[in-house]
Amino acid sequence: MCGIVGVYCENESLTPHITYYALFSLQHRGQESAGIAVAGNSSITAHKGMGLVTQVFDERILSRMNGKASVGHVRYSTTGESRIENAQPLLVRSKVGSIAVAHNGNLVNYWGLRSGLEGEGRAFLTDSDTEIIAQLLSACLLDYDTVEALKILDSKLLGSYALTILVNDTLIAYRDPLGFRPLCIGEADFGYVIASESCAIDATGARFIRDVKPGEAVIIEDGKLEFVRISESKRRAFCVFEYIYFARPDSIIDGKSVYGVRHTIGRILAKENPVDADMVSPVPDSGTTSSIGFAQESGIQYLEALIKNRYVGRTFIMPEQRMREFSVRIKMNAVRSNVEGKKVVLVDDSIVRGTTSRKIVDMVRAAGAKEVHFRVGSPPIIAPCYFGIDMSTREELIASCRSIEEIRRTINADSLAYLSLDGLLEAVGIDENELCLACLTGKYPIPVPGEKCVR
């Protein structure tokens, strides 16, 4: 799950700065690399680096980038290693000029497309699926106009792809026909901001206009904005894990407040799985909103059992298990004075590999809790994701082949309970045919080799 941005700004020296702030507010979507490409008078200038937005950019770098249109990216790798060659935006140059692509999502037909293009004599500089998109688009633009090229591109791609693209100084945004990943647009006196989440639009001072619809493109040329329908699909497949964990709670996605969904999740979780306890504590950060809902519904006192070091980012999206394990320990610490002698309920948004829950239950116990109960704001994650979350094998998922009782023993909790699928659907308030629930059900909205498909 990456964060993508597109900016059109009349004030050329402001463009990279606005892009920077939008990307900064999407840092939770990708921590591995960051990049910005700006379309100047005659060419595209790009700067990319490994690390967080603040580590990759400074005023000196931003002030050297000038132009009215830009795209930006923060990466959480899914296809292709976490290294600088795969950092985005990805640039290609051809007879049509320069193209820069920022992509959130994952192509399931990557290898097929790549070997086809290699057979035609094309060479690749990266092992990222995004380069396929950039190369295919560049080839289509040799023979077709922008809209036709997008239609042809779309017909070749299978998987999830929310995109912001520069074709010379034209800014394009496109959301795949099933709308797996979020994308929205805002307007300001300086121009337009397109971003994965509305929190990035807010951060730039722009006014939210609306979500980009699945199958729809936004094209901004010489300051004129146009919405164009590129493709149609009977169903949608918005990733439910965006509401559960990925998105920021202050974002509004497809008309639903992420905060509201998570708060309701907490309430339903408390109704479905009551527990006799002295306090309810969040597992920070993403468990916070549902734990508030849980505490309100159950009437149990809300008190923090754990404090998060504010300088540590997300552990789940780190590329290596060793880094994740190490980071949980430095990320959280128990508050002995709050938990000593108490029956504690810990509420988290999800258990995926079990890295977090395994460590913190012991942490809270070691700090003197009498009992530690674990409540999870999603059903068990049982199946891999092929659409932009880096959990691609069943072996790494703690719930793929264990019963809830086995997981309880593994994480050493006194009790463990998950939200039901019906409870989740009630909280999200979107018809299940409009969501991708594959990680919870093992049923995929588009064909994936070796997996069950429901359409």
Ligand X SMILES: NC(=O)CC[C@H](N)C(=O)O
- Residue 78 binds what, of Mg ion, ligand X, ligand PRP, none (CB under 5 to 8 Å, by partner type)? ligand X
Cα atoms in the Cβ-side hemisphere of radius 13 Å centred on 64: 8
Q: Restricting to residues 236-275, name those near ligand PRP by CB under 6 A.
A: 245
Task: Kindly determine how many residues on this chain lie close enough to bind ligand X according to the rule CB under 6 A.
Answer: 17
For residue 392 the two structure tokens come to 């691609």
Nearer to ligand X, 104 or 290 (CB): 104
- Do 219 and 228 touch, CB atoms closer than 8 A? yes
Nearer to ligand X, 16 or 388 (CB): 388
Assess whether 401 carries a catalytic annotation: no
Asked if residue 169 belongs to a known ligand binding site, the reply is no
Task: Confirm or reject binding of residue 349 to ligand PRP (CB under 6 A).
Answer: yes
For residue 106 the two structure tokens come to 């994952």
Q: Which range in 210-218, 355-363, 408-416, 434-442 contacts ligand PRP by CB under 6 A?
A: 355-363
**Which pairs count as long-range contacts for 428-433, CB under 8 Å and 24+ apart, including other chains?**
428/240, 428/243, 428/256, 428/261, 429/256, 429/261, 430/238, 430/254, 430/256, 433/235, 433/236
Q: Which range in 149-157, 309-317, 424-432, 436-444 contacts ligand PRP by CB under 6 A?
A: 309-317
**E strands, 108-175, in order:** 159-167, 170-175
Cα–Cα distance measured from residue 257 to residue 249, given in angstroms and rounded to the nearest whole number = 7
Nearer to ligand X, 2 or 360 (CB): 2
- Residue 129 binds what, of ligand X, Mg ion, ligand PRP, none (CB under 5 to 8 Å, by partner type)? ligand X
For residue 201 the two structure tokens come to 């639009």
Nearer to ligand PRP, 88 or 356 (CB): 356
Task: Confirm or reject binding of residue 286 to ligand PRP (CB under 6 A).
Answer: yes
Find the binder of ligand X among 40, 49, 80, 260 (CB under 6 A).
Answer: 80
Integer angstrom CA distances of residue 385 from 72, 83, 273, 394: 24, 22, 27, 10
Q: Which range in 54-62, 69-77, 192-200, 221-229 contacts ligand X by CB under 6 A?
A: 69-77
Nearer to ligand PRP, 220 or 328 (CB): 328
Task: Kindly determine how many residues on this chain lie close enough to bind ligand PRP according to the rule CB under 6 A.
Answer: 18
- Residue 89 binds what, of ligand PRP, Mg ion, ligand X, none (CB under 5 to 8 Å, by partner type)? none
Find the binder of ligand X among 28, 47, 103, 262 (CB under 6 A).
Answer: 103
Give the N- to C-terminal CA distance of the chain in Å, as an integer: 23
Q: Which residue is nearest to ligand PRP (CB)?
A: 316
For 337, residues 6+ apart whose C-beta sits below 8 A from its C-beta are none
Nearest alpha carbon to residue 315 among 89, 155, 76: 76
Asked if residue 9 belongs to a known ligand binding site, the reply is no
The distance of closest approach from Cβ of residue 182 to ligand X in the complex, given in angstroms and rounded to an integer, is 11
User: What letter would DSSP give residue 312?
Assistant: -
Integer angstrom CA distances of residue 360 from 63, 213, 345: 44, 40, 12
Find the binder of ligand X among 66, 130, 138, 289 (CB under 6 A).
Answer: 130
Asked if residue 199 belongs to a known ligand binding site, the reply is no
Nearer to ligand PRP, 216 or 349 (CB): 349
Neighbours of 325 (CB within 10 A): 16
Strands 159-167 and 44-50: unpaired
Site mask for Mg ion (CB under 5 A), range 256-295, x = bound: ------------------------------x---------
Task: Confirm or reject binding of residue 28 to ligand X (CB under 6 A).
Answer: no
Phi, psi of 306 (to 5 degrees): -130, 140
Instruction: Find the Cα–Cα–Cα–Cα dihedral 379, 384, 386, 389, rounded to 10°.
Output: 60
Nearer to Mg ion, 285 or 451 (CB): 285
* Residue carrying the six token digits 């964060």: 3
Q: Which residues bind ligand PRP (CB under 6 A)?
A: 245, 283, 285-286, 314-317, 348-357
Binding-site annotation: residue ranges for [4Fe-4S] cluster: 239, 385, 436, 439
Binding-site annotation: residue ranges for Mg(2+): 286, 348-349
| Residues annotated as catalytic (active site), given as ranges | 2
